[in-house]
Amino acid sequence: MKTAGFLLLNLTLCLFYSGIAIEARSVDQGILGLHNHANQVDCRGYPRNVCTLEHRPHCGTDGITYSNACFFCNAYVHQRGRLRLKHKGACRYLSDAQD
């Protein structure tokens, strides 16, 4: 009985960690996929704990303006690759276009 429990525990752990590895690989492939866009952002090596305060805005497809590539890439990784770069520069809103 102890052997069966031990084997079952090991099998469960192997399946759990293989799922994490597959998820991490898919996010990495998505990061590399950003290079296919005209506006390129290299998000390898993210997330980072600290970003600089330089102001080089990046507009995400979520409509949020990120202050620089570091903040954008942190959000990209946090959203597991669903975020894309719309364009470099601040996001434009309908009210901005009417001014």
Neighbour-count burial of 87, counting CB atoms closer than 10 A to its CB (0-12 exposed, 13-18 middle, 19+ buried): middle
- pLDDT tens figures, 37-87: 566 789 999 999 999 999 999 999 999 999 999 999 999 999 998 999 999
11-31 as b/e: b if 16+ CB within 10 A? eeeeeeeeeeeeeeeeeeebb
pTM of the model: 0.58
Write down the domain spans for the chain.
2-98
Residue with tokens 């997330």: 47
Own/partner contacts of 20-28, CB < 8 Å, gap of 24 or more, are 23/80, 26/81, 27/77, 27/80, 27/81
Q: How much is the pLDDT for 93?
A: 81
- 3-class SS of residue 18: helix
- pLDDT tens figures, 52-66: 999 999 999 999 999
With 70 as the cut, is the pLDDT of residue 29 above it? no
The predicted model gives 22-26 an average pLDDT of 46
Question: Domain 2-98, CATH 3.30.60.30 — does that match?
Answer: yes
